[in-house]
């Protein structure tokens, strides 16, 4: 008697993990829902820390933007400015001498200069600069030389330069008819002097001025130029864009003297004979590796990334990312992990870039992030607000590590508003204006915690043993670990809880754990560990897959003595079988729940056949020779 079987190959499988370093766990927390009305948005912004208290502006239920404070709890989050005044009545605040100063409007005095020490009683009108109901509208707050500078209007409607030492008596007007560099919200500062544009002394045109906070020290630097934008200090000099009436808006530099105020380079050529004056219009200036990086338009290129060492020869384009006259317009820049990161636009070129200052070293990090801003860097992560629905991204500087912010307590997107003033590092958290479907109703005051779990996972392995899956893992430095949750998946994507193991709380250098999961009739499985800290924070191991020998519930054999094919069906379920010739023709088929199924092959032509048997989720095909 001979039996012929189809050989089925199977193997036990064991996978070993690489070492995982201490993992970062981020959570998004709602500090307080400030606006509880149907508008559902408080839009907190202009975060500033004074006396270990976080000050900010937000829209309450009244629809008015007021001055708020918090120390990180819902109970400590309160509005401290009066609840009267028109909508949007505080545009910005500035810290100065342990207080914040701001423009505010209440019945009777219109928009004037206010101050706050962080209490309701200490939030008061500081100085009624333009007495009466008209208001002086103070703006452009800047601290320099231990003084507070700002602009305020007089009866003529002109902007006047004021300075204050924090007292009403020490708040004086320095000059009339002044303005900030175009596009700036505050004054440029160099060596404790502020810089601005004003009448050049001739009664016509605008010149570059500076002030040290005294009337005598408010002087004209260069009467031939009017600053038009930008402002960055490099090597004790102030760089800015200016127009001298000859070259258009180009890159200039000053050391605070007339002789030290010069055109660095005419980036876009002029054609005076045709009355055409090019505007390189440098802006978005950033210092990196002791050089000035900025965005400008040059000859034959649109707005692209330029670099300058302060000389004309050392001022040039870094890379033409989007060739042509349109340009990639890299508007926002940040220094991170030894590189200068920026976002750029243009067809087929929009995304996150980085540069080391060379054309070859200027590369795309992540396509598809449009007009991103960089509001914060915390715990080694760069945060990016992308103009893709204001979605919040995180980045470690790599393509794979640049993705929507990864949080352990929500998988839904997090949105913020595209302004740096809506983020602030405070007491180990990143406070921000955020919206998330799981945690907030509209844009509210939130914070991101980014801490390192003290657990160090040395290894995570698994093996099969009969009908069991045996998992083993080794840890080190269990400082604050509470438990391990074992999660299982059939496809490696959707996980369910398979079991839980409490931390041994051992002080040994390493601690070993094991867990056995019965996995009968399961040919393979995916596992991961959720490692939970005592404060509720958690992180995951990476995933391992286990495979096992398949012990078939169905076998088939051919007995040459009685010419019978016998199917052993130990599954006790309906077995569908087919006998197929080698040319693919169906010879015979049937269905039975019997434990032993016999098929008479008398009269069959001698040859090779395939018997296919299916019961439950198992299908076994056996090749046999019938003669």
E strand segments, 205-282: 206-211, 218-222, 226-234, 237-243, 249-254, 262-265
Q: Name the β-bridge partners of 206.
A: 199
Q: Which residue has the higher pLDDT, 298 or 408?
A: 298
Mean pLDDT across 148-168: 91
Euclidean distance between CA atoms 81 and 273, whole angstroms: 59
pLDDT above 70: residue 129: yes
Confidence of residue 608 (pLDDT cuts 50, 70, 90): confident
Ranking 251-265, 519-533, 552-566 by mean pLDDT, the lowest is 519-533
pLDDT at 6: 30
Confidence of residue 303 (pLDDT cuts 50, 70, 90): very high
Residue-wise pLDDT for 314-365, tens only, equals 999 999 999 888 899 998 899 998 999 999 987 667 899 999 999 999 999 9
Which of 550, 566, 570, 546 has its CA nearest to residue 558? 566
- 496 exposed, middle or buried (CB, 10 Å; 0-12, 13-18, 19+)? exposed
Mean pLDDT across 508-525: 77
Mean pLDDT across 605-620: 81
For residue 587, the number of C-alpha atoms closer than 13 Å in the C-beta half-sphere is 21
Confidence of residue 16 (pLDDT cuts 50, 70, 90): very low
pLDDT at 252: 97
123 Cβ neighbours under 8 A, 6+ residues apart: 67, 80, 81, 82, 114, 115, 116, 117
Residue 352, classed as helix, strand or coil, is strand
Euclidean distance between CA atoms 121 and 112, whole angstroms: 18
Euclidean distance between CA atoms 246 and 248, whole angstroms: 6
Euclidean distance between CA atoms 215 and 54, whole angstroms: 35
Mean pLDDT across 619-624: 80
Residue 109, classed as helix, strand or coil, is coil
* Alpha-carbon separation of residue 422 from 98, 245, 252, 365, 587 (angstroms): 21, 38, 31, 25, 76
pLDDT at 326: 84
E strand segments, 438-533: 444-452, 456-465, 468-476, 481-489, 496-502, 510-518, 524-533
Q: Which residue bears the tokens 């197929």?
A: 580
pLDDT at 21: 33
The pair of three-digit structure tokens given for residue 246, joined into one six-digit string: 């000859």
Euclidean distance between CA atoms 506 and 529, whole angstroms: 19
Mean pLDDT of the chain: 85
The pair of three-digit structure tokens given for residue 555, joined into one six-digit string: 């076998």
Residue-wise pLDDT for 65-124, tens only, equals 899 999 999 999 999 998 765 555 788 899 999 999 999 987 666 889 999 999 999 999
Euclidean distance between CA atoms 173 and 169, whole angstroms: 11
Residue 456, classed as helix, strand or coil, is strand
pLDDT at 524: 67
pLDDT at 453: 53
Which of 456, 454, 488, 483 has its CA nearest to residue 471? 488
Euclidean distance between CA atoms 280 and 296, whole angstroms: 5
Ranking 41-55, 271-285, 437-451 by mean pLDDT, the lowest is 271-285
Residue-wise pLDDT for 18-40, tens only, equals 322 334 578 899 999 999 998 78
Q: Name the β-bridge partners of 621.
A: 612
Euclidean distance between CA atoms 283 and 273, whole angstroms: 28
pLDDT at 420: 59
Q: Are 407 and 28 a contacting pair, CB within 8 Å?
A: yes
Euclidean distance between CA atoms 525 and 491, whole angstroms: 8
The pair of three-digit structure tokens given for residue 611, joined into one six-digit string: 């018997």
Q: Does the model's pTM come out above 0.75?
A: no
- For the chain, the C-alpha Rg in angstroms (whole number) is 36
Residue 3, classed as helix, strand or coil, is coil
pLDDT at 272: 57
Which of 371, 368, 364 has its CA nearest to residue 385? 371
Ranking 12-16, 350-354, 483-487 by mean pLDDT, the lowest is 12-16
Q: Which domains are seen in the chain, by residue range?
A: 15-22+453-547 (2.60.40.10), 554-626 (2.60.40.3080)
pLDDT at 436: 92
Residues in the chain: 627
Euclidean distance between CA atoms 9 and 33, whole angstroms: 61
* Alpha-carbon separation of residue 139 from 41, 49, 163 (angstroms): 25, 20, 12
Q: Averaging pLDDT over each range in 9-23, 301-315, 481-495, which range is the top one? A: 301-315
Q: Are 240 and 255 a contacting pair, CB within 8 Å?
A: no
Which of 69, 101, 100, 64 has its CA nearest to residue 83? 64
pLDDT at 362: 95
CA 245 to chain centre: 43
pLDDT at 454: 57
pLDDT at 147: 97
Residue-wise pLDDT for 208-256, tens only, equals 999 999 999 999 999 999 899 999 999 999 999 999 988 889 999 999 9
Mean pLDDT across 597-613: 86
Q: Which residue has the higher pLDDT, 480 or 143?
A: 143
Mean pLDDT across 392-421: 85
Q: What is the DSSP string of 102-163?
A: EEEEETTTEEEEEEE-SSSTTEEEEE-SSTTTT----EEEEEETTEEEEEEE-TT--EEEEE
Euclidean distance between CA atoms 331 and 320, whole angstroms: 15
**Strands across the sheet containing 554-559:** 554-559, 564-569, 596-600
pLDDT above 60: residue 179: yes
Confidence of residue 379 (pLDDT cuts 50, 70, 90): confident
């Amino acid at each position: 008697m001979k039996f012929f079987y189809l050989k089925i190959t199977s193997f036990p499988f064991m996978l070993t993990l690489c070492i995982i370093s201490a993992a970062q766990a981020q959570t998004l927390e709602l500090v307080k829902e400030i606006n509880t009305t149907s508008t559902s948005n408080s839009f907190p912004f202009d975060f500033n820390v004074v006396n270990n208290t976080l000050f900010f502006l937000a829209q309450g239920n009244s629809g008015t933007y007021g001055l708020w404070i918090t120390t990180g709890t819902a109970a400590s989050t309160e509005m401290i400015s009066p609840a009267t005044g028109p909508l949007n009545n505080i545009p910005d605040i500035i810290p100065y001498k342990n207080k914040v100063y701001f423009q505010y409007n209440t019945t009777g005095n219109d928009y004037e200069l206010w101050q706050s020490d962080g209490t309701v009683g200490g939030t008061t009108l500081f100085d009624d600069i333009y007495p009466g109901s008209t208001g002086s509208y103070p703006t452009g707050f800047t601290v320099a030389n231990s003084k507070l500078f700002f602009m305020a209007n007089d009866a003529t409607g002109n902007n006047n330069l004021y300075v204050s030492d924090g007292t009403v008596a020490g708040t004086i007007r320095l000059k009339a008819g002044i303005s900030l560099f175009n596009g700036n919200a505050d004054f440029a500062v160099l060596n404790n002097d502020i810089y601005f544009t004003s009448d050049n002394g001739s009664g016509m045109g605008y010149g570059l001025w500076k002030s040290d906070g005294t009337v005598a020290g408010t002087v004209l630097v260069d009467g031939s130029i009017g600053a038009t934008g930008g402002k960055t200090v490099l090597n004790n000099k102030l760089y800015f864009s200016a127009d001298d009436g000859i070259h258009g808006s180009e890159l200039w530099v000053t050391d605070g003297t007339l002789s030290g105020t010069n055109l660095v380079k005419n980036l876009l050529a002029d054609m005076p004979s045709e009355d055409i004056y090019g505007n390189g219009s440098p802006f978005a200036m950033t210092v990196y590796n002791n050089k000035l990086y900025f965005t400008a338009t040059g000859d034959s290129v649109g707005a692209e990334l330029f670099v300058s060492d302060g000389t004309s020869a050392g001022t040039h384009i870094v890379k033409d990312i989007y060739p042509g006259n349109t340009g990639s317009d890299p508007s926002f820049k940040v220094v991170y992990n030894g590189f200068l990161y920026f976002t750029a636009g243009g067809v087929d070129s929009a995304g996150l870039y980085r540069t080391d200052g060379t054309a070859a070293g200027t590369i795309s990090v992540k396509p598809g992030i449009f007009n991103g801003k960089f509001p914060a860097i915390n715990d080694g992560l760069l945060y990016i607000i992308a103009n893709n629905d204001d979605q919040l991204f995180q980045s470690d500087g790599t393509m794979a590590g640049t993705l929507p912010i990864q949080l352990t307590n929500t998988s839904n997107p997090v949105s913020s508003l595209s302004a740096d003033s809506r983020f602030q590092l405070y007491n180990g958290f990143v406070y921000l204006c955020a919206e998330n479907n799981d945690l907030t109703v509209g844009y509210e005051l939130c914070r991101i915690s980014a801490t390192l779990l003290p657990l160090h996972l040395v290894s995570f392995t698994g093996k099969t043993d009969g009908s069991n899956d045996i998992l083993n893992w080794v840890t080190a430095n269990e400082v604050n670990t509470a438990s391990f949750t074992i999660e299982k998946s059939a496809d490696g994507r959707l996980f369910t809880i398979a079991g839980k193991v409490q931390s041994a709380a051992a002080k040994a250098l390493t601690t070993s754990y094991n867990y056995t999961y019965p996995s009968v009739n399961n040919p393979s499985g995916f596992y991961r560990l959720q490692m939970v800290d005592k404060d509720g924070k958690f992180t995951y191991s990476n995933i391992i897959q286990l495979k096992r020998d398949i012990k078939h519930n169905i076998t088939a054999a051919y007995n040459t003595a009685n010419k019978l094919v016998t199917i052993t069906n130990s599954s006790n379920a309906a077995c569908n079988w087919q006998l197929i010739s080698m040319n693919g023709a169906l010879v015979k088929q049937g269905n039975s729940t019997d434990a032993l199924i016999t098929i008479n092959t008398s009269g069959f032509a001698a040859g090779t056949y395939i018997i296919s048997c299916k019961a439950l989720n198992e299908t076994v095909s056996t090749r046999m020779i019938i003669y």
